[in-house]
């Protein structure tokens, strides 16, 4: 395994991070524990969860993922072996069953303390804001369109000061953001500098061969402001395994169970995926390995968040860290990207 340091911290994390959002829905508690044990044996020490998980989010399953991690921690008494990242859910209809008050000081306090209880731990290594409170183009929305009905008022300073109280109390070691845009990221960085607050260490955004929107402006922000990318959906909901094109997807695969998650299933995405699959076959590797190795090698990526529903998938995903793509291969990926740019933003 390869390791990196979370920016602006001394926290060492594996460059492959174990994603967990299927636990409590597609995976049982026992399977989640099995995945943690296997991942640790392969050198992974970084686990990502959220108070929202599992996904799809429902009131009946909310928090189960973190509870499974917590029961593993209690059983194995191995808190010092893992770096745990979690998130407070942003506001919106999708999370009304959790709370409707966004990132107010009381909301952050409530969310953090409930998550600590679920995880059965005294601290969270990296605590992230799951998505912005303001209306902006996230989750597959291509362009920003201002809304006169957006009630949000600039509260970056208040949010950071609220998080700082828990850093000072030892309940949070590092602070991150997620699904954020360039403007929001720079506003956080500005408040950190102006008020000597704990820096934003990472941003967790979607990034894959089908979605390289991060490179448009956030990549420069990432490198110049020392804010690492935690890349999620590097396999584009499994599309970049090739299993949906080749007809080998299992009945319990994500898009068969939840076909409404069509973000990576457009006609243009399919055309690009076919070309990437042909490239992988030319190289004699799986499309999974090609897609993950591409993300692993990006200079702004701190860790690549992979998820799996079984150990065979997990092994292949983790093994991608051992594949280094040549410049010629990266150029061929860029050629596809140039002809079909960001088909799944």
Which residues are part of the catalytic machinery?
Answer: 53
If DSSP codes are grouped into helix, strand and coil, which group holds residue 337? helix
Continuous segment of H or E residues that includes residue 319: helix 311-319
Q: Is 242 left (phi over 0), alpha (psi -120 to 50) or beta?
A: left
Phi, psi of 5 (to 5 degrees): -105, 130
Is the Cβ–Cβ distance between 238 and 254 less than 8 Å?
yes
What sign for the dihedral angle of Cα 333, 338, 344, 345?
positive
Through-space distance between the first and last CA atoms of the chain, rounded to whole angstroms: 30
What sign for the dihedral angle of Cα 102, 108, 114, 118?
positive
Q: What angle do CA 198, 202, 204 make, to 5 degrees?
A: 140
**Residue 297 burial (10 A CB sphere; 0-12, 13-18, 19+):** middle
Residues paired with 321 in a beta bridge:
none
Q: What is the length of the chain?
A: 345
The pair of three-digit structure tokens given for residue 72, joined into one six-digit string: 């593993």
């Amino acid at each position: 395994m390869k390791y990196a340091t979370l920016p602006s911290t001394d926290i060492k994390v594996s460059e492959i991070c174990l994603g967990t959002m299927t636990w409590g829905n597609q995976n049982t508690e026992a399977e989640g524990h099995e995945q943690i044990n296997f991942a640790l044996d392969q050198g992974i020490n970084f686990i990502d969860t959220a108070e929202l998980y599992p996904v799809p989010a429902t009131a009946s399953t909310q928090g189960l993922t973190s509870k499974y991690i917590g029961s593993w921690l209690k059983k194995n008494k191995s808190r010092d072996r893992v770096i745990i990242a979690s998130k407070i859910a942003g506001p919106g209809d999708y999370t009304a069953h959790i709370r409707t008050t966004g990132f107010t000081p009381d909301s952050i306090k409530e969310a953090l303390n409930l998550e600590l209880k679920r995880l059965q731990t005294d601290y969270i290594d990296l605590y992230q804001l799951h998505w912005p409170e303001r209306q902006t183009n996230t989750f597959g929305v291509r362009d920003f369109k201002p809304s006169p009905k957006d009630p949000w008022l600039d509260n970056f300073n208040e949010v950071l000061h609220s998080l700082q109280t828990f850093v000072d109390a030892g309940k949070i070691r590092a602070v991150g953001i997620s699904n954020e845009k360039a403007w929001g990221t720079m506003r956080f960085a500005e408040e950190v500098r102006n008020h000597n607050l704990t820096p934003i260490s990472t941003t967790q955004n979607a990034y894959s061969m089908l979605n390289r929107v991060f490179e448009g402006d956030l990549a420069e922000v990432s490198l110049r402001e020392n804010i690492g990318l935690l890349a999620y959906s590097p396999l584009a909901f499994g599309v970049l395994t090739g299993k949906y094109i080749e007809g080998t997807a299992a009945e319990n695969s994500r898009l068969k169970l939840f076909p409404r998650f069509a973000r990576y299933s457009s006609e243009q995405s399919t055309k690009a995926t076919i070309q990437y699959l042909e490239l992988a076959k030319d190289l004699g590797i799986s499309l999974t390995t090609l897609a993950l190795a591409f993300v692993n090698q990006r200079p702004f990526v701190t860790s690549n968040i992979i998820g799996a529903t079984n150990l065979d998938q997990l092994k292949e995903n983790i093994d991608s860290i051992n594949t280094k793509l040549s410049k010629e291969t990266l150029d061929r990926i860029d050629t596809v990207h140039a002809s079909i740019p960001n088909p799944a933003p």
